[in-house]
Amino acid sequence: MSQTRILVTGGAGFIGSHYVRTLLGPLGPDDVSVTVLDAFTYAANPASLDEVRDSPRFRLVVGDICDPEVVGPLMAEHDEVVHFAAESHVDRSLSSSAEFVRTNVMGTQVLLDAALHHGISTFVHVSTDEVYGSVPTGSSTEEESVDPNSPYAASKAASDLLALVYHRSHDLDVRVTRCSNNYGHHQFPEKIVPLFVTRLLQGRKVPLYGDGMNVRDWLHIDDHIRGIELVRTRGRAGEIYNIGGGTELNNRELTDRLLQACGATWDQVEYVEDRKGHDRRYSVDWHKAHTELGYKPQKDFAEGLAETVAWYRDHREWWDRADGTPDAAAGAPAC
């Protein structure tokens, strides 16, 4: 049986590593091999790939997607690309945006050029609902214009448009996914769910932006990976697919659920000054992915959150590093 050779960028990060573990796990397809290309910046963790490290269908390459000398030879050996690699923390982009432009825009351009040159059959570009900006009512469809409000979101919007242009200009089979807020195990403790969980498990205070009424749609990592794989295997070239989770909560509601799950109280919540350009609400319409690809979120939020808290409780060695990982978020969550 011939195998589809997939190059996964950012495969040691939260979403990318889950994708790799899923493809090479017991329930994954047996006709794919995976090469992970990752620069191992602060949010990547080699331990996230331990489950698949001994698979004969797995290879790890440490390298930078911005380096054509690394990307070109790798691209020549593969059939498809699933592109996760990105700088993704909004707070960090507000204090220093250069790395976001370099990785998210320039890195995507290097990958696209190499994919075009080497005849890649499918290029899945993984993006975010943040490119749509704040949505007061309703939900963003794939036809909505991008309207980002942070350097991170702007860099992702730019990379989305660049990827789609490679389809329109060069007929490269590019498919873009835009997901809502992810949660689940193996997520670096700078995003709100793992940051709050790890701090609460240590009996520490957690920071809540502004009035805590910012609304997000929560997507379990299992559902996100399922959606991405549907786009890779069944999606159409040049199309955007929203992947939503179906659970809208404001940050106060989310905080309350996290406090209960960790056996903590509101005394451990500290209100902090709202961040610049903090979008009030994100919401994506995932009707297109449902009707075309059969996508539908399956993980119940209460069940998924309980499993997530239990994983962090049982895997302290993963997140409790010598440099104090929970403090790496500069005091406030990205949400």
Task: Tell whether the model's pLDDT for residue 326 goes beyond 60.
Answer: no
Residue linked to tokens 């940050």: 251
Alpha helices, DSSP H, located in the chain: 14-24, 68-76, 90-95, 98-100, 107-117, 151-170, 192-201, 221-234, 251-262, 287-293, 301-314, 316-319
- Residue of 225, 229, 265, 238 whose CA lies nearest to 176: 238
- Least confident span in 78-92, 96-110, 152-166: 78-92
β partners of residue 140 = 284
User: Region 274-291: what's the mean pLDDT?
Assistant: 88
Residue 39 DSSP SS3: coil
Domains of the chain: 4-182+220-243 (3.40.50.720), 189-216+247-279+299-329 (3.90.25.10)
Q: How far is CA 7 from CA 1, 27, 37, 83, in A?
A: 19, 20, 7, 8
Q: Cα(275)–Cα(280) distance, rounded to whole angstroms?
A: 11
Residue 130 among the catalytic residues: yes
Q: How far is CA 312 from CA 185, 205, 307, 324, in A?
A: 7, 17, 9, 15
- Residue of 108, 192, 205, 101 whose CA lies nearest to 153: 101
Structure confidence at residue 330 as a pLDDT band (50, 70, 90): very low
- Decide if 196 contacts 206 (C-beta within 8 A): yes
Q: Cα(301)–Cα(212) distance, rounded to whole angstroms?
A: 19
**Which residue of the set 80, 87, 130, 190 is catalytic?**
130
- For 62, the token pair is 């440490």
Residue 239 among the catalytic residues: no
CA 43, distance to chain mean position in Å, is 12
**Which residue of the set 64, 87, 91, 129 is catalytic?**
129
- Least confident span in 96-105, 118-127, 240-249, 258-267: 96-105
Mean pLDDT, the chain, whole residue set: 92
**Which residue of the set 132, 152, 241, 295 is catalytic?**
152
- For the stretch 200-230, pLDDT in tens is 999 999 999 888 999 999 999 999 999 999 9
- For the stretch 45-55, pLDDT in tens is 899 999 999 99
User: Region 57-65: what's the mean pLDDT?
Assistant: 98
User: Region 125-143: what's the mean pLDDT?
Assistant: 96
Residue 152 among the catalytic residues: yes
Structure confidence at residue 104 as a pLDDT band (50, 70, 90): very high
Q: Which residues are CB-neighbours of 262 under 8 A, at least 6 positions away? A: 196, 197, 200, 201, 309
User: Region 148-167: what's the mean pLDDT?
Assistant: 95
- Residue of 314, 326, 334 whose CA lies nearest to 189: 326
User: Region 112-133: what's the mean pLDDT?
Assistant: 97
- Position 124 scores a pLDDT of 98
